[in-house]
A and B are shown apart, each in its own frame.
Chain A
């Protein structure tokens, strides 16, 4: 058993010899315009089939629903009024006041760190309403719940530190689906063909759905990475809301961005997944959010279940001992 929690280099843990720098996304939701180009580019590149029946979900402009077996990028839309914006700004300020973790030595005044005491943090006028948009994706966790619990070895850690399913190995047991604390990976079903019969000619013939019955999720475009290409979503993003690069650079960019937003008084800005001390050892895909994570459908305090696995095995061992003892006791004392 390798390391199950805490900060680590996942590709090195997986004993890659020709290890590459860890790759990741930085999704800056403050400049997302909700165009869904990432969703489309992802679908096209990965040949992902239609997800569910075409229907309106009555959730702002989001008719995709969420991440799933055939949706590897999902743009969330949240409409908020002034009260909620003020709350978000306050919760963000509370994070700053907590003195959330800082990597390296405390910044000096000269290094222009996030010393908000001397900066004019008078918030800009709070807007009457706002429209949050955020492109969600697989987090490619340092300690990936899906990967840990996969019994076949179909899920593996790539040399880029990402997590990928081997379609031809997975037998669709579904353990990874329950293992993911973010609800990303899913077993693909072909349940959406029902609608085809009711539609016109061009929809009548859906292309055959590939990889039915197999767990599917974002591969961080592994096939593109090995050819030194940018993942499809990042390539298609018109506002550079989705940035792709070496994980360390991404985290650094994210930190700089959140500092500059704070200096503009936008204390609602915060990072999600940039802390390697969190429950999943930090994520490969880092987000800049403008409200609490659960507003976007993200868990507020995810923890990879495998972190507790040694304890679970210990408890199971005690239970086994108890069961054997009970059976022995039942047979002791001759014929009852």
Chain B
């Protein structure tokens, strides 16, 4: 910083200069209007190849973000369904089972639609590959769908007064209905959590850096969203557990999100606070808090419960879309790949670890 006698004539500077999301590291700041001084000390530069990205963003559309949300809703609903089944809450059980089937169906359609070759979606079950979260997830989703579909079919049959053309299979359906609810709930947790591993196990900077906390964010988000949906669909007399789950989910979500932001490299965490993703995640936290508060204070009122449920669903959707979008934008800007990598390399070298660099002198 230099000081001169003309300092007092300068227009006041903004408190902190923040780097806009799309800006490249070339330092081409607009000074054309003469109102701004050229920065005397240039911001820390990073070199890149013509500002082009190093890693490629996943070619996923928002269908995948929608699936992250719907899969979470389905997973939580299956757990609520099992709870309703075990504690004698028939309305909660019915609504949760139907919610789970609806959400998982739309989610699966969104996934297939996003494939480059949708007609080959069955290739997902061509092999079981533990190193591929997508393969593991496909099997989890399939197993979950079986239990969900069977238990929901039993509900539909009951609702329609045994009018489904099942014939002798009706007895079988009624016999396996309970175990199917168990089976779906068994795969519910993994269904909610594997998507976090799917995003974490990529070279996309922000997703990869979030891999420690993202599973906690996603299961919390699934819990609060499914609880919110149950609070909308189910009368307050039976929705007690949903209200508790919603509050627990909100606490988990807010805490996990905060911890994630703090533990990540500050550079890689930037996309979570900037642009579209930043706005979505900010509102997601506000809505989650509002929904949680509403549940806690007025959850026994049907209208308040429904409104809180809606806020929670919106919060969960915004969390998923926000995290999704933040990752994609982190892949599009080479800064988020290069700077953290250079920093961690320098840190290792400073600590005396020199043997694991990809660049070597010989």
Interface of A toward B, CB cutoff 8 Å: 1-2, 4, 57, 59, 62, 65-66, 68, 76, 78, 92, 95-96, 98-102, 114, 145, 148-154, 169-175, 177-188, 212-215, 255, 258-259, 262, 270-275, 277-280, 283, 289, 292-302, 305-306, 308-309, 311-313, 315-324, 326-331, 335-336
Contacts and interface: CB of A to CB of B under 8 A. Distances in A.
Contacts of B192: 319-320, 323
B245 A326 contact: yes
A298 B87 CA distance: 57
Given A213-B115, A270-B359, A308-B200, 20 more contacts: A98-B349, A100-B357, A171-B123, A172-B115, A177-B58, A179-B201, A183-B203, A270-B360, A271-B361, A275-B357, A289-B359, A305-B200, A316-B190, A320-B190, A321-B189, A322-B216, A323-B189, A323-B193, A331-B241, A335-B237
A255 B58 contact: no
Nearest to A307: B201
A44 to B, nearest CB: 24
Given A174-B60, A214-B117, A323 B223 contact: yes
A283 B360 CA distance: 13
Given A153-B127, A169-B126, A180 B241 contact: no
Contacts of A308: 200-201, 211
Interface string B173-193: 000000000000000111011
Contacts of B349: 98
A140 to B, nearest CB: 14
A328 B354 CA distance: 49
Contact of B132 (A2, A78, A175, A297): A175
Contacts of A329: 244, 248
Given A59-B50, A294-B338, A275 B356 contact: yes
Interface residues of B, number: 96
Contact of B134 (A175, A255, A315): A175
A171 B202 contact: no
B198 interface: yes
A309 B131 contact: yes
Which of B344, B356, B358 has the most chain A CB atoms closer than 10 A to its own CB?
A: B358
Contacts of A336: 240-241, 243-244
Contacts of B167: none
Given A1-B130, A175-B58, A302 B240 contact: no
B154 interface: no
A85 to B, nearest CB: 13
B193 A316 contact: yes
Given A259-B362, A270-B360, A315 B212 contact: yes
B49 A78 contact: yes
B357 A316 contact: no
B215 A151 contact: no
Interface in B197-216: 197-198, 200-204, 207-208, 211-213, 215-216
Nearest to A291: B47
Contacts of B202: 145, 149, 175, 178-179, 305
A271 B212 CA distance: 32
A146 B325 CA distance: 21
